[in-house]
Structure formats: C-alpha cells, structure tokens
Amino acid sequence: MKPYIEMTAEELSEELKKLKAEYSKVQAKGMRLDMSRGKPCKEQLDLSMGMMDVLDSNSDLTCEDGTDCRNYGQLTGIVEARELIGDMMENNPKDIIIYGNSSLNVMFDTISRAYTHGIMGNTPWCKLDKVKFLCPVPGYDRHFAITQYFGIEMIPVPMTPTGPDMDIVENLVSSDADIKGIWCVPKYSNPQGISYNDATVRRFARLKPAAPDFRIFWDNAYGIHHLYDDHQDYLIEILAECKRAGNPDLVYKFSSTSKITFPGSGIAAVATSPNNMEDFLSHLRHQTIGHDKVNQLRHVRFFGDIHGMVEHMRKHAEIIRPKFEIVVSTLQKDLGELGIGTWTNPLGGYFVMFDSLPGCAKDIVSRCKKAGVVMTPAGATWPYGKDPNDSNIRIAPTFPSPEELQSAMDVFTLCVRIASAKKLLAEKQA
C-alpha cells in the first residue's frame, strides 16, 4: 500500500471507510486488555517464588558479621546485600545504602528532604522563591509526578538517540541557580528504551552547575534488564566518571530489584559519594532504625551472587523478548509502508516508544480504549501530561500474554491507521 500522505482525498476516504468497518468488528469482540503500565507478567513473578523457600523458621538469620536480621540495626543495610546490589549497580558496597522495597519511594524522600531541610547545608528548597528541575522528554511519568507534587517547575529537555540534548542541559544548569536537578533513566530509558552514550555520560559528569545543591537523579532502573545475551547496551558508570571529573557529589544513583524479583517486595538502593552518604544518613537516622534486613537476606540467599542474578535475568528475557518482537514486527507489518509513525526497537528495558503523526496520540489511545485496549494515557511522558505535539505513546508489552499482546497490537495499529487517515483527509479537504 502507498504511504497515506501520497493518497488522494478520495483514496483516504475509501481507506477510512474500510478501517472503520474493521474497527466496528473489533469492538464487537468485547476485548479487555491492559497495557497501561510496565508490569512483570505472572510467568516473570513465578521465577522468584523460590525466594519464599530460602528462609523458614529453622533458618539461621545471622549475617557473616554477626548481625541478627530479626533485630534492629544496620542503617545502611546488611553487608551481604550491599555487596550483591553493589555488583548489580557497579558500585563499591561502601557507597550504597539499602532501603525498602521501592526506589521511587527513595527518590520521593530525597526530593522531600531537599525541600524541607536542604542538601548538605544549603538552603531548604521550601524557603526559595523558585525551584526548577530539568525533565528529559519523553520521560517517566512518575518522576514528573514527584516534582509536580512539590510544586517544582519542570523544564522539558529534548531527548536524542544518545540521551538528553546536552547542549541545552549544560547551558541551563550553568546559567540558572534555580535549577536544582535533572531526572535521568540512563539505560534502556523509559519510554524510548535507549541508553546514554559515552559522551553524554561524560558531559553529565563534567557539568558546572550554578546551584551548589544541584544533583543528577540517575535512576538506573534497567541496568541489567537486557533482552539479548549477545547484543546489549553498555553504560559508563556515572559515579566513577564524576569522581574522575572532580565532581564526586554531583549524582544520586538509584536502583532496585523491583522488576528482578517482586515489584512489591524487592529491595531498593542509592549509591552516591561519601559526602552525600553522610547527608542521607543524617536524616535517615531520624526516620528509621533500619530497613527490612530479613528481606535483604532473602535476596542474598536466593541469588548467591551477581552471577545468580544475571542468570535469573536471562530467564526474564526469555519470557519477554518474544513480546517485544511481537510489538516491533506488528508495527513494521501494519505501518511500515504507510509513513504514519515511527518507533523504537530497544535491546532492553520495559517499553517501546511510538510517535504518531502530530495531533493523533490522544485520538489513538482513546480509540484503543473504546475497543477494549487500555494504553498509557497520551501525554503521560511529558511534564504536566502535556505533549505539545500530541504524538508520543508508550507501549508496555510485558504484562499481557503473547496472544493477548498480539490482539492488542492489532487493535493499536488499526487505531493508528484510522486516526492518521482521518487527520490527513481533513487536511486535504481543508
């Protein structure tokens, strides 16, 4: 079929008529499929069920250093967990604090603490006239929700195939002391699935912020979430690069086992410089006497070491890789020749990004919902939910079964064609 842009008004009108007839048949099926969030499927969760068996009432819950995991203490986490997560995050265990089940919770607390008490002796953000944050777009909606919750002004920064536009980042960060941070998902980003290249990471490490309390919020959520054994993205380790550049305190690096074991019952961590560590702990000492050490020990006993975790992630990949391939192959088959959208083909992570013709994303997502397929809301990948082009859609392939996913993608591409034909026909008629 020829590209839609090359069709006459009459051809588009006839195409639209056929597509709408097909859409009516799809609606009559009464489908109920949810692709709104990047959740692991049941088969992925089943991979970690053995964790329920590594500890029981007869288990010795004593760590190598004598810590009894049933009791208070170990504010930074048990040594074994810090070593395991240190290997996962590629950081020295001494530079890591183990938290509870959610890295998003840690990020929220970090913003909240900066807001009420300041960072390393600097003025609390709540006492400033204005606080701003840079937000690479498209980006992670829950990051944006945190800064919006605290009334922080969000400034969109365009993403490129190699990461945020660093010319813009460098200029803004160095010239505006109101800018206190930037959100980053540096590996297999949400929603694109791209990874920052070496030059981007090095430019981040060499930023010269106007604000002494500027921090990079480096959410390395998908650090070991590869889809392929023989073709993987590589990311320079940011803390080492910052230390090399003379900026050791510039970064907070977050991660968790949320999509490795159980999203509701994993362990989260932050890695950062010794100065930042002490700043964190000066507040954390008032917040808790220690996080769930039994769960930390459960993770250590289940994986053994980083090699056990890597092997575990291969099993995840075997489950979700075919789903990503369904998404990309369906987009190519149904839309590849029509010129009405572009998409990413990631090597890891949890999402595929789709860009429609401008002005079509909300229409596409709405039509999908009316046909029984719930997508991430259009605009969610932008601060305040406002995509200026109304074109960006996040596709989350992991949760549905392969059969459900194929049905959902068939609906999605049908809706893309309808919305695109409708837009182009209106333009030609005008």
Residues 10 and 108 in one domain: no
Question: What is the structure's pLDDT at 207?
Answer: 98
Q: What is the DSSP letter of 284?
A: H
Indicate if 248 and 177 belong to the same structural domain: yes
Q: What does the pLDDT look like over 167-225, one tens digit per residue? A: 999 999 999 999 999 999 999 999 999 999 999 999 999 999 999 999 999 999 999 99
As a whole number, mean pLDDT of residues 353-365 equals 98
As a whole number, mean pLDDT of residues 385-396 equals: 98
Domain boundary (274, 303, 332) is at: 303
**Whether residues 204 and 353 fall in one domain:** no
Domain count, the chain: 2
**Taking 90 as the threshold, does the pLDDT of residue 288 lie above it?**
yes
Asked whether the predicted pLDDT for residue 430 surpasses 90, the reply is no
CATH number at residue 176: 3.40.640.10
CATH number of the domain encompassing residue 388: 3.90.1150.10
pLDDT of residue 190: 97
Q: How many CA atoms lie within 13 A of 223 on its CB side?
A: 25
**Which residues does 385 contact at the CB level (< 8 Å), separation at least 6?**
141, 377, 379
Residues 89, 19 share a domain: no
Give the domain-ending residue among 303, 325, 341. Answer: 303
Predicted confidence at residue 91, as pLDDT, reads 98
Per residue in 264-274, pLDDT (tens digit) is 899 999 999 99
Domain match, 244 and 263 both: yes
Task: State the CB neighbour count (10 A cutoff) for residue 25.
Answer: 10
Residues 172 and 85 in one domain: yes
Q: Is 401 inside a domain boundary?
A: yes
Give a yes or no: residue 51 inside a domain. no
Judge if 321 and 182 occupy the same domain.
Answer: no
Same domain, 34 and 139: no
What confidence score (pLDDT) does residue 108 get? 98
Instruction: Give the closest residue to 181 by CA, choosing from 142, 214, 157.
Output: 214
Rg (CA), the chain: 23
- 198 lies in a domain? yes
d(CA 87, CA 83): 6
User: What pLDDT is attached to residue 189?
Assistant: 98
With 0-12 / 13-18 / 19 or more C-beta atoms within 10 angstroms meaning exposed / middle / buried, residue 356 is: buried
pLDDT digits (tens, 9 = 90+) for 139-172: 999 999 999 999 999 999 999 999 999 999 999 9
For the chain, give the percent of residues with pLDDT over 70: 100
Report if residue 56 sits inside a domain: no
Asked if residue 115 belongs to a domain, the reply is: yes
Asked whether residue 117 is domain-assigned, the answer is yes
Average pLDDT, integer, range 280-306: 97
Mention every residue, 6+ apart, whose C-beta is less than 8 A from residue 325.
none
Same domain? For 274 and 179 the reply is yes
Tokens of 50: 């053995």
Looking at residue 89, its pLDDT comes to 98
Q: Is residue 71 domain-shared with residue 146, that is, in the same domain?
A: yes
Tokens at 288, concatenated: 């808790």
- In sequence order, which residues have a C-beta less than 8 Å from that of residue 90 and are 6 or more positions away? 223, 237
Instruction: Give the global pTM.
Output: 0.97
Angle between the N-to-C axes of helices 361-370 and 402-429, in degrees from 0 to 180, rounded to the nearest 10 = 130
Percentage, residues of the chain above pLDDT 90 = 99
pLDDT surpassing 90 at residue 251: yes
Three-class SS state of 206: coil
Residues 65 and 15 placed together within one structural domain of the fold = no
Taken in order 139, 144, 145, 146, the sign of the CA dihedral is positive
Pick from 237, 272, 303: which residue ends a domain?
Answer: 303
Find the helix or strand (DSSP H, E) in which 149 lies.
helix 141-149
State the pLDDT at residue 1: 85
The pLDDT score that the predictor gives to residue 259 is 96
Could you read off the pLDDT of 341-351 as tens digits, one per residue? 999 999 999 99
pLDDT (tens digit per residue) in 116-133: 999 999 999 999 999 999
Residue 55 lies in a domain: no
pLDDT band at 301 (very low <50, low <70, confident <90, very high): very high
Residue 281: domain span = 61-303
Banded pLDDT at 255 (limits 50, 70, 90)? very high
The tens digit of pLDDT for each residue in 87-127 reads 999 999 999 999 999 999 999 999 999 999 999 999 999 99
324 and 369 co-located in one domain: yes
User: Can you tell me the distance from the alpha carbon of 92 to that of 271, in angstroms, rounded to the nearest whole number?
Assistant: 8
